[in-house]
Chain A
Amino acid sequence: MSGAHHIVLIVLFSAAVQSGTTLLYPTIGEIFAERSGILNLGVEGMMIMGAFFGFVVTYITRNPYIGFLAGVLAGGAAALIHAFVSITLRGNQVVSGLALTIFGLGFTNFYGQRWINLRSPVTVSQMSVPLLSKIPYIGPIFFKQDALVYTSYIVAIVMWFILYKTKVGVHLRATGQNARAADAMGVNVYATRYWWTFFGGLLAGAGGAYLTIAYAPFWLDGMTAGRGWIAIALVIFAMWDPLNAMVGAYLFGGIDALQLQLQAVGVTIPSSLLNMLPYLLTLIVIIIATLIVRVKHISAPKELGIPYNREEK
Chain B
Amino acid sequence: MAEYILQARNITKKFPGVLANDHINFDLKKGEIHTILGENGAGKSTLMNILDGIYYPNEGEIYINGKKANIRSPFDSMRYGIGMIHQHFMLVDTLTVLENVILGLKDQSFFINKKQIADKIIEISDKYKFDLKPFAKIWQLSVGEQQRVEIVKMLFRGADILILDEPTAVLTPQESEALFEILKKMKSEGKSIIFISHKLNEVMEISDRITVLRKGKVIGTVNKEETNPVELAKMMVGREVLFRLQRKPLERGEEVLKVENVEAYNDRGIKVLNKIGFTVHKGEIFGLAGVAGNGQKELAQVITGLRKATSGKVFLLGKDITNQHPLVIANSGTNYIPPDRLKVGLIPNLSSIDNAILRRYRKNPIGSGILVNYKKAREYTESLIEKFNIMVPRIDAPVKLLSGGNMQKLLLAREISENPALLIAVHPTRGLDIGATEFIRKKLLEVRDSGMAVLLISEDLDEILMISDRIGVIYEGRITGIMDAKDADVHKIGLLMAGSTEEESATVH
Contacts and interface: CB of A to CB of B under 8 A. Distances in A.
Interface string A97-111: 000000000000000
Contacts of B103: 170-171, 174, 181-182, 185-187
Contacts of B106: 186
A187 B92 CA distance: 13
Contacts of B153: 185
Interface stretch (B71-79, B215-223, B380-388): B71-79
A180 B90 contact: yes
A181 B109 contact: no
A165 B54 contact: no
Contact of B104 (A166, A186, A310, A311): A186
A57 to B, nearest CB: 33
Categorize the interface residue count of chain B.
Answer: 20 to 34
B250 interface: no
Contacts of B93: 177-178
A184 B52 contact: yes
A146 interface: no
B112 A170 contact: yes
A276 to B, nearest CB: 37
Contact of B99 (A168, A170, A188): A170
Contacts of B91: 178, 181
Given A177-B93, A178-B91, A170 B84 contact: no
Contacts of A193: none
Contact of A165 (B55, B89, B102, B111): B111
Contacts of A180: 90
Interface in B1-32: 15
Contacts of B400: 313
Contacts of A294: none
B241 interface: no
Contact of A186 (B55, B73, B89, B92): B73
B178 interface: no
Contacts of B78: 186
A166 B86 CA distance: 26
Given A165-B111, A182-B92, A171 B55 contact: no
Contact of A185 (B55, B74, B110, B401): B74
Contacts of A166: 110-112
Given A183-B54, A186-B105, A174 B95 contact: yes
A167 B90 contact: no
B266 interface: no
A311 B401 CA distance: 12
A82 interface: no
A311 B90 CA distance: 15
Contacts of B15: 311, 313
A188 B72 CA distance: 12
B94 interface: yes
A102 B153 CA distance: 46
A147 B110 CA distance: 28
A173 B95 contact: yes
Interface in A258-313: 310-311, 313
B92 A167 contact: no
A184 B105 CA distance: 11
A186 B90 contact: no
Given A177-B92, A184-B52, A167 B75 contact: no
Contacts of B389: none
Interface in B101-125: 102-106, 108-112
A173 B102 contact: no
B352 to A, nearest CB: 15
B92 A174 contact: yes
A168 to B, nearest CB: 7
A66 B110 CA distance: 30
A183 B84 CA distance: 13
A170 B73 contact: no
B438 to A, nearest CB: 26
B84 A184 contact: yes
B74 A184 contact: yes
Interface string B58-69: 000000000000
Contact of A167 (B86, B94, B108): B108
Contacts of A173: 92, 94-95, 99
B54 A167 contact: no
A166 B102 CA distance: 11
B281 to A, nearest CB: 41
A168 B103 CA distance: 9
Give the one of A166, A174, A181, A313 with max B CB within 10 A: A181
A270 B143 CA distance: 60
Nearest to B111: A166
Give the one of B86, B90, B93, B104 with max A CB within 10 A: B104
Given A173-B95, A186-B105, A311-B55, A181 B112 contact: no
A170 B95 contact: yes
Interface in A153-209: 165-168, 170-171, 173-174, 177-178, 180-188
A112 B51 CA distance: 56
Nearest to A175: B92
Give the one of B15, B55, B75 with max A CB within 10 A: B75
A179 to B, nearest CB: 10
A313 B401 contact: yes
27 contacts: A166-B112, A167-B102, A167-B105, A167-B110, A167-B111, A170-B99, A170-B102, A170-B112, A171-B103, A174-B100, A174-B103, A177-B94, A177-B95, A178-B91, A181-B90, A181-B92, A182-B92, A182-B104, A183-B74, A184-B52, A184-B74, A184-B86, A185-B74, A186-B104, A186-B105, A186-B106, A188-B75
Interface of B: 15, 52, 54-55, 73-75, 78, 84, 86, 89-95, 99-100, 102-106, 108-112, 153, 400-401
Given A173-B95, A185-B100, 18 more contacts: A166-B110, A167-B109, A170-B99, A177-B93, A177-B95, A178-B90, A180-B90, A181-B90, A182-B103, A183-B73, A184-B74, A184-B84, A184-B86, A185-B90, A185-B153, A186-B78, A188-B75, A313-B401
Closest 4 interchain pairs by CB?
A186-B104, A185-B104, A186-B75, A181-B90
